[in-house]
Amino acid sequence: MKENNTIKDYIKNNELDLERIIQDYSAYVSKIIDNMAKGFIREVDKEEIMSDVFFVLWKNKQKLDTDKRLSPYLAGITRNVVKVYFAKNRIKYENIDNYENDLNFSDDFCFANENHDKIKSIERKVGSMKKIDKGIFLDFYYYSKSIKDIAKKYDISEDSAKQRLYRIRKKIKKEIQKNG
């Protein structure tokens, strides 16, 4: 995955170069699926989910902001496709309901286009956070890592990781409300 590549880096002959995107981002999408699935998805289903993710990206190519990085779009699409898979197969998705609020960072593909100002506010707030808070936030919302994995990575307790996420969401919500 080329982390700093924007969508326009993947446009060839005025068309989205899906083959190159699949080549560069398959491992990234696979990791998000693995982090969310925690062993509940068979390999054949994982491959189908990956195909669906890239199909949804291609199908919505006209809605993409070409100056944005590709990875957040793919992360959001992947999370949605996995959640749909879980719902269809009646698999309970592990989350932190006790700490969730109405802030879901780019969970819907169209969310990025309809709420551009909110996303800008969130990006500004995330960009101004302490390194550990930014890392925890991105690991949880972009990379779909579990609280346990995040706590281990940053050498903090799971309760501390949950508390940090709660505070981060609270700060972001305040920032969004401040900006209307």
Whether 31 and 77 share a structural domain: yes
Single residue among 94, 127, 162 that ends a domain in this structure: 94
Residue 108's CATH number: 1.10.10.10
Contact 21, 10 (CB under 8 A): yes
Higher pLDDT, 6 or 118: 6
- Mean pLDDT across 49-54: 91
21: phi then psi, degrees, rounded to nearest 5? -60, -45
| pLDDT score for 119 | 67
Q: Which residues pair with 16 in a beta bridge?
A: 11
The pLDDT of residue 90: 65
- Kindly state whether residues 27 and 65 are assigned to the same domain: yes
pTM for this entry: 0.55
Residue 116 binned pLDDT confidence (cut-offs 50, 70, 90)? low
CA distance 166 to 63: 31
Going by C-alpha positions, the residue among 61, 175, 64, 73 that lies closest to residue 120 is 175
- Which residue segment(s) compose the domain that 70 sits in? 1-94
Of all residues in the chain, the percent with pLDDT exceeding 90 is 13
At residue 156, the pLDDT reads 93
88 and 6, same domain (yes or no): yes
Residue predicted with more confidence, 132 or 145: 132
> Do 63 and 15 lie in a common domain?
yes
Q: Are residues 88 and 122 in the same domain?
A: no
Q: Would you say 17 and 10 are in contact if contact means Cβ atoms under 8 Å apart? A: yes
Residues 79 and 118 in one domain: no
Cα–Cα nearest to 173, from 80, 114, 99: 99
Structural domain ending residue among the three candidates 45, 62, 94: 94
pLDDT 10s digits, 58-90: 888 888 888 888 888 898 899 888 888 877 776
Per-residue pLDDT at 179: 66
**In this structure, are 3 and 89 located in the same domain?**
yes
Q: Are residues 3 and 68 in the same domain?
A: yes
CATH code assigned at 14: 1.10.1740.10
Residue 91, pLDDT > 60, answer: no
Query: Is residue 82 domain-shared with residue 158, that is, in the same domain?
Result: no
Q: Are residues 126 and 55 in the same domain?
A: no
User: What is the number of domains present in the chain?
Assistant: 2
Residues 1 and 69 placed together within one structural domain of the fold: yes
89 plus 149 within the same structural domain: no
User: Among the three residues 94, 114, 136, which one is the final residue of a domain in this structure?
Assistant: 94
Q: What is the mean pLDDT of the chain?
A: 78
- Give per-residue pLDDT as tens, 151-161: 999 999 989 99
Using one digit for the tens of pLDDT, what is the confidence trace for 93-113? 444 333 333 334 444 444 444
